Amino acid sequence: MVQPLVLLFLLFVPQMLRLACSPLAWMRTTGFAAAPLARLRAVPFPLRPLETPDMKLAYTILYVADVPASIEFCERAFGLERGFVHESGEYGELLTGSTRLAFAQHGIARDNLGQDYVDAQRSPQPLGMEIGLVTDDVEAAWRHALASGATALKAPQRKPWGQTVAYLRCPDGLLVELCTAMD
C-alpha cells in the first residue's frame, strides 16, 4: 500500500502543484479513482496563489446622511486626518495609513448600487462589520471618543491573547473597535 502512494506522489505532485490543488481534488478533476486513496482526507498544504491581478484594500466606505459631520466627528473623536471632502459634501475621505476611511451620502450609494441597503445610523443594532483603530492607550481613546459623542458598546478589556479592545458606535452608525496592536 505504501508503494502506490509514493509512486502517486512522485508522479503527480508536480501536476497538482501546477494546477494548485490537493491530491483528492486532483483525483476528482482527473477522474483518477483508487479505492484506498478515495477514503483519504484532504490535508491542507500551501498552494501557490492563482494568477490574479494584484489587489490591495484601498478604502472602506460608510454610507451616511451627512458626510461633513461624519468626517468632523472622526477628526474630533479619533484624531484622524482629513484627506478631502468634495465640494458637494457628498463624499469625503480620512487618511488612516495605507487605506482610506471614506463616507458617501445615501443618494450616491443608492445610485451606485441600484438598490437600497441597511442604513447604519437607523439600524437599532450595529452592522455586521467594524473598523479597527489601533492605539497605545485604548482606555484614554475610548473616554475621548465617548466625550466626543460616541456611544459605548463595550468598555476596554484585555483579551486572553494580550490585546486590549473596546467597542463603540459613532453617531452615523459606524461600529469602531479601539485596540492595541497585535504583536
Residue range 97-117: mean pLDDT, rounded = 94
| Domain spans of the chain, in order of start | 2-38, 59-179
Q: How far apart are CA 76 and CA 74, in angstroms?
A: 5
114 or 23, which is more confident: 114
In the predicted structure, residue 43 carries a pLDDT above the cut 60: no
Residue range 47-75: mean pLDDT, rounded = 87
pLDDT at 117: 92
Model confidence, pTM: 0.70
In the predicted structure, residue 95 carries a pLDDT above the cut 90: yes
Q: How far apart are CA 102 and CA 63, in angstroms?
A: 9
Strand partners, 168: 152, 176
Cell of 147: 466625550
Question: What digits encode the pLDDT tens for the residues 116-171?
Answer: 999 999 999 998 999 999 999 999 999 999 999 999 999 999 999 999 999 999 99
In the predicted structure, residue 77 carries a pLDDT above the cut 60: yes
- Band the pLDDT of 6: cuts 50, 70, 90: very low
pLDDT at 24: 52
152-164 b/e (C-beta count within 10 Å ≥ 16 → b): eeeebeeeeeeeb
- Is the domain spanning 59-179 CATH 3.30.365.10? The answer is no
